[in-house]
Amino acid sequence: MDFTVRIHNDLNVIYFETGYLLEANRSLRRDCEMLFAECARQVGYTIPLEACRNGDDWERLYALLDLLVARSLDESNGPNAMPDPKLAAQTETNLRFSIDRILQFIYRYGDFVNQGNDYYQKFAGIIRPYETGQPCPDILPAAFGQLKTNIEGTIEKFNSAYRMPEVQGSKLKDMLYGSAE
């Protein structure tokens, strides 16, 4: 009876905390989609992020960004043309604002990845005792083994797939502010 009550309580902890992580993930995704829309709108791109991903429309977005930069530098008037300082300053201000917002989002994303990893490490610690030496290990349902596998897989994702080098350290700074090379 104690075993059943204990495992029930532990599984409830995992259930409710994964629910919390799911809602936090949804919130982060909504914020990402809104940030994408705000940034893309500055270059004249109005397609939502999901549609851009599904339609693989990145080249069009990049072309619009290149066009905005070219216009701000007045490159369309020839190689010896003088850039319009007012247009260049406005474009630089808009892009700098977007970069700062993106950087804030990336830091929030990193915090979420760290938090998620911590939670799943905790979940692994919760289920570990049930595998070794606890009474009644033979009566654990097959779903318990699947839960263990899912937790281990998620920890691996947090440690590899979600920790992209592009959003870590100096590589991030090079992407946002330009490479020194």
Rounded Cα gap, residues 136 and 156, in angstroms: 29
Residue 20 has pLDDT above 90, yes or no: yes
The mean pLDDT of the chain is 79
Q: What one-character DSSP code corresponds to residue 82? A: P
Tokens of 48: 């939502």
Beta carbons within 8 Å of 55's beta carbon, 6+ residues apart: 47
Q: What percent of the chain has pLDDT over 70?
A: 70
pLDDT digits (tens, 9 = 90+) for 96-155: 666 778 888 888 988 998 999 999 999 999 888 776 555 555 666 677 778 888 999 988
Q: What distance in Å separates the CA atoms of residue 1 and residue 7, rounded to the nearest whole number?
A: 10
How many whole angstroms separate alpha carbon 100 and alpha carbon 141? 49
User: How do the domains of the chain map onto residue ranges?
Assistant: 2-177
- State the average pLDDT over residues 29-56: 91
Asked if 43 and 68 touch (Cβ cutoff 8 Å), the reply is yes
pLDDT, one tens digit per residue, over 123-135 is: 999 888 776 555 5
Q: Which residues contact 111 (CB under 8 A, 6 or more apart)?
A: none
| Cα–Cα dist 178/181, whole Å | 9
Q: Alpha helices, DSSP H only, in the chain? A: 2-41, 49-55, 58-73, 85-131, 142-159, 169-177
